[in-house]
Chain A
């Protein structure tokens, strides 16, 4: 009988880790991994695969780890997943592959995410030969595809199309590739060196990466289609920050989580003044919201030297959208949770800098359209929270630059692109879309799943449209 519980993964000690930006979860060693792999029952009809948006053959890669064939294990994962080192770290496995694992019925499911991460880490050094062999396979290009955005959906679509034999060009607005993996998720959860090497792996397939290119400004989607490209995939994500629209929101010391995290992660403000981008963190920081982005911001503030860092959330712990693991890590690090609290206005001093945040206490009523209990303010319960920095992390919408420039691309009421779920086909011929720009802010792996489906659909489209007509 396998053990009922997962093999623990070593973590950096909380007291130690709040003083650095090094990765918190240290990953399995060889023995831990083999032992954990032995827990897998190798089901004949594995449910775990159905839980994975890119359908990695989970039992097979785990069996290879069990047999000590680590390199082969990574190759097996890479048949389906172009970013295993990322997914093993940031996927919410508890809602996906691990939620379907039969061991989870009576005890804990197999630690699929930890094993995926192990395979990617252990075999990383030896994996280059695998890549090279694959890139040799492509000889003549079947066509040209433009990918807009180098986040998880774009990178996945690019890699799959390149493997199918297309010449792929990624257009990225920032000076570094990776999208949210680079500017959003902090170093202590996803080291940037890992993102960089995953992007490099994808470039080895022959993918051309053009940085500093804002499509919608330097080139339009129509220009891409008219000039060199047979199809365009739009994976521009949900990068537009939402604000609370309350008084005092433009005071100094109020950040969107996007700005705060971009300064720290992309611009390395935590290494100021060696790196020249500054970031302000006061002594007492309030982060409004309770998703993964809010946890990332609160934990980052603590590492930048805040004495107190707190989450302010209008619902209760049960409704928090962040991953359980992230909430636990935040708690262990001393992040405070002000639940059932909603900001009403932000207060400033004479110089226009934050000196407090007025909140109202909340209670939960009947469920709303989202199925979660509706938060309702309690009358006359207003009070002032003593903070000097406020970070707003209440969600992001789609960035409108590309959409405004391409008016014939149909969008819905939320400003996201209307695209067929199975193919990513949009209202515009030759244009496909996937990831957060279609779904609104979701997960890395869902964006990857969408990139994968779109790559298949683009292949079919080009073969039938272009070669079909000849």
Chain B
């Protein structure tokens, strides 16, 4: 059992949970993810480790309500437990030997971006961070990024904070201004990572993306998370989840992500019915 030690609501429907998991915290590195399961009837859900503290033996995960399972996790409170937490999974990324990097985070993707940005900064890179959200209210981890970035820029779809528009607008300016950027990391919705990768390709700048594919086991034994990278099929859980953005087939990934949409609805409405019964 893995206890929740601290809960913070970061934005509407976005929750941060600090979980007691000393064995996993001891091995966690930027890029690693977890598979969690709340109770006996739950799905296995992949979540990136947004932060870890080896001394306290804790992991931080940040999650947004989108379907039944994420809602169930967001409804957990301090003292509650996850029945299962597996990790650290996936490949961690090497953050040494970069001198100037742009870290681009969109929506909830800001959370998995953080440990990588922090580690790049600790290894001596100049960090330019670009965070995007739908509205100012939905923007998360601004303070954390302020602390580790040499420059921090924000864009919102509605212009309620920072520049109005998309992260790619700011990124384009940065790529024009600087010809010594040696890495772009982009994490966010698949469509955002697709357009970031398209843009950076024109400038020939190495670009890493972290895919949030559907997963079951997260250990390479089912292939549910497969993705076409270059000409090859890779498993995001063991070969990734970080890949070269210039090689990923994003359209295929977007299609695969929507496959269980109807089931998500059914799970939600089924649960809704149950809750009503309990109330009566």
Contact = CB atoms under 8 A, between A and B. Distances in A.
Interface in A204-239: 211-214, 217-219, 239
Contact of B220 (A212, A250, A399): A399
Contacts of B13: none
A399 B41 contact: no
A89 to B, nearest CB: 23
B85 A212 contact: yes
Given A217-B89, A239-B221, A351 B41 contact: no
Interface stretch (B96-104, B111-119, B182-190, B258-266): B258-266
Interface in A21-76: none
B138 interface: no
Given A267-B43, A272-B263, A273-B266, A401 B219 contact: yes
Contact of A214 (B219, B226, B259): B219
A211 B255 contact: no
A259 interface: yes
Best-surrounded residue of A219, A250, A275, A400 (most CB of chain B within 10 A):
A250
Given A174-B217, A175-B83, A241-B222, A252 B259 contact: yes
B127 to A, nearest CB: 28
Contacts of B260: 278, 280
Contacts of A239: 219-221
Contacts of B6: none
B252 interface: yes
Contacts of A250: 226-228, 233, 252, 256
Interface in B38-61: 41-44
A243 interface: yes
Interface residues of A, number: 41
Contacts of A278: 260, 263-264, 266-267
B24 interface: yes
A258 B88 contact: no
B28 to A, nearest CB: 10
A9 interface: no
Interface string B265-277: 0110011000000
Nearest to A352: B255
A276 B221 contact: no
Contacts of A174: 217
Interface residues of B, number: 41
Best-surrounded residue of B24, B220, B221, B264 (most CB of chain A within 10 A):
B221
Nearest to A274: B41
Contacts of B69: 276
A399 B259 contact: no
B43 A277 contact: yes
B84 A399 contact: no
Nearest to B24: A218
Nearest to B268: A273
Given A259-B222, A262-B222, A278-B263, A218 B43 contact: no
B44 A256 contact: no
A135 B42 CA distance: 35
A259 B224 contact: yes
B216 interface: yes
Contacts of B88: 217-218
Best-surrounded residue of A252, A256, A259, A353 (most CB of chain B within 10 A):
A259
Interface in A232-274: 239-241, 243, 245, 249-250, 252-253, 255-256, 258-259, 262-263, 267-268, 272-274
Contacts of A268: 41
Contact of B222 (A219, A245, A252, A258): A258
Contacts of B43: 267, 276-277
Contacts of B84: 175, 211-212
Interface in B115-156: none
Interface in A269-311: 272-278, 280
A258 B42 contact: no
Contact of B41 (A240, A243, A275, A280): A275
A98 to B, nearest CB: 32
Contacts of B227: 250
A43 to B, nearest CB: 43
Best-surrounded residue of B69, B85, B217, B263 (most CB of chain A within 10 A):
B217
Interface of B: 23-24, 27, 37, 41-44, 68-69, 83-89, 216-217, 219-224, 226-228, 233, 238, 252, 255-256, 259-260, 263-264, 266-267, 270-271
Given A240-B221, A274-B270, 7 more contacts: A252-B256, A255-B224, A258-B221, A262-B217, A274-B41, A277-B43, A400-B238
30 contacts: A173-B217, A174-B217, A175-B44, A212-B84, A213-B86, A217-B27, A217-B89, A218-B27, A218-B87, A219-B27, A240-B221, A241-B223, A243-B223, A249-B233, A250-B227, A250-B228, A259-B224, A267-B216, A272-B266, A272-B267, A274-B41, A275-B41, A276-B41, A277-B216, A280-B263, A352-B256, A353-B259, A399-B219, A399-B221, A401-B238
